[in-house]
């Protein structure tokens, strides 16, 4: 193993008492593999089993906490107790080689396709018509408070299934982020208006999840939070807004904050005059109070080594662990040159990528790097 990569294999003890055996995280990725009713499928188990050896922590695809929070076909559900038995099988698969298993909990809000939610009733912080022409209904205050409880109930189910923790999905334009963003939150109750009010829903979910963990977990159980630091819209989240969110989250005794980025070294749009990358600015703002997970187009061992120079304590791989399921082992064994960093058209069976996910990859140009058969990035 190259010297500059040794830090990836140092253990880490989180605030909850959960111990990670290395600093590599399998990032949460939509996989379209669960059964239609949200229970865990055999394809899903095979997909994860092929990738479970190596990462210190594996975060699942996002699981909806209520029936009206489903944002993807084939999304796992954590919205009712009937999903627990299948989740236990998933936990066993994820933990089979020593990784910690974390369930990402989620509500899609205005990003939910009408066909996937009961009565086509798409809900969000505020009424609107989406870019795709979907009519969105504003949640009542009572419904908002019910959703906070739903995140707690999903956490209880994760505990009963044997997960080592949950990650609250406050990123990528879904419901929690919609409440924080002035672009999508036009409410005039205690959950809207000022930045303090727009923080109320995300922070109430953190408090509820932590409360449920204290009541139900019999062993160390982590709580993480994922966020997107900026939005492109004029009224969208800025880096300055995110500083407020980060400051509030660091007071919540979280195990980590996960920064969702498409490119690890991407620069801020607005809200700061700092010209460094977002991840460097965020690391400075948090100042070691909470471990940070960095992610974003990390493919090769060289990409990872460069990312670690930022000082980020945990590094997540997303698409790369689909392309190269044995990335961690190859780095550990000094076989970095054997790491595959692009997909080939005949890779599906060898990489154990079920049809639903493979079709999504192939039919979404630019999502994954593809190459001619003679190439390997």
Segment 113-134, tens digit of pLDDT: 999 999 999 999 999 998 889 9
Task: Provide the token pair at 27.
Answer: 């990032």
CB–CB of 264/307 below 8 Å? yes
Q: What is the pLDDT of residue 374?
A: 41
Segment 176-215, tens digit of pLDDT: 999 999 999 999 999 999 999 999 999 999 999 999 999 9
Q: Is the pLDDT of residue 376 over 80?
A: no
Span 21-25, average pLDDT:
97
Q: Is the pLDDT of residue 64 over 80?
A: yes
- pTM assigned to the model: 0.96
**What is 3-362's CATH topology?**
TIM Barrel (3.20.20)
Span 344-352, average pLDDT:
94
d(CA 321, CA 326): 7
Q: What is the pLDDT of residue 372?
A: 66
Encode 104-143: b = buried (16+ Cβ within 10 Å), e = exposed.
bbbbbbbbbeeebbeeeebbbbbebeeeeeeebeebeeee
Q: What is the pLDDT of residue 377?
A: 40
Q: Is the pLDDT of residue 277 over 50?
A: yes
The band of 4, judged by pLDDT with boundaries at 50, 70 and 90, is: confident
Long-range contacts of 94-98 (CB under 8 A, 24+ apart): 94/48, 94/52, 94/58, 94/60, 95/52, 95/162, 95/164, 96/49, 96/52, 96/53, 97/52, 97/53, 97/54, 98/21
Segment 136-150, tens digit of pLDDT: 999 999 999 999 999
Catalytic residue ranges:
174
Q: What is the pLDDT of residue 1?
A: 75
Domain ranges of the chain: 3-362
């Amino acid at each position: 193993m190259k010297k500059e990569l040794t830090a990836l294999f140092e253990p880490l003890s989180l605030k909850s008492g959960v111990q990670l055996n290395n600093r590599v995280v399998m990032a949460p990725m939509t996989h379209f593999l669960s059964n239609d009713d949200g229970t865990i499928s055999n394809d899903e188990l095979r997909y994860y089993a092929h990738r479970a050896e190596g990462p210190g922590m594996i975060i699942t695809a996002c699981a909806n906490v209520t029936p009206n929070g489903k944002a993807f076909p084939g999304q796992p559900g954590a919205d009712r107790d009937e999903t627990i038995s299948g989740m236990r099988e998933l936990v066993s698969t994820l933990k089979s080689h020593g990784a910690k298993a974390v369930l990402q909990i989620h509500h899609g809000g205005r990003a939910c396709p009408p066909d996937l939610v009961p009565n086509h009733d798409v809900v969000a912080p505020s009424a609107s018509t989406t870019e795709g022409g979907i009519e969105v209904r504003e949640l009542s205050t009572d419904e908002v408070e019910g959703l906070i409880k739903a995140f707690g109930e999903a956490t209880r189910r994760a505990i009963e299934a044997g997960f080592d923790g949950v990650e609250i999905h406050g990123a990528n334009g879904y419901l929690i982020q919609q409440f924080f963003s002035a672009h999508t939150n036009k409410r005039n109750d205690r959950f809207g208006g000022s930045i303090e009010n727009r923080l109320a829903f995300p922070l109430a979910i953190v408090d509820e999840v932590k409360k449920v963990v204290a009541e139900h977990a019999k062993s160390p159980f982590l709580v993480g939070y994922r966020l997107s630091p900026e939005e492109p819209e004029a009224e969208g989240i800025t880096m300055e807004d995110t500083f407020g969110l980060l400051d509030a989250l660091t007071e919540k005794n979280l195990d980590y904050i996960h920064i969702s980025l498409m490119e690890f070294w991407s620069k801020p749009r607005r809200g700061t005059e700092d010209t460094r990358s977002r991840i460097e600015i965020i690391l400075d703002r948090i100042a070691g109070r909470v471990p940070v997970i960095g992610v974003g187009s990390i493919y090769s061992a060289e990409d990872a080594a460069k990312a670690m120079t930022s000082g980020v304590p945990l590094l997540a791989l997303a698409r790369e662990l689909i392309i190269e399921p044995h990335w961690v082992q190859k780095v550990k064994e000094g076989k970095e040159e054997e790491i595959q960093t692009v997909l080939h058209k005949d890779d599906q069976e060898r990489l154990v990528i079920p049809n639903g996910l493979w079709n999504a990859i192939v039919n979404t140009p630019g999502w994954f790097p593809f190459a001619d058969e003679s190439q390997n990035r």
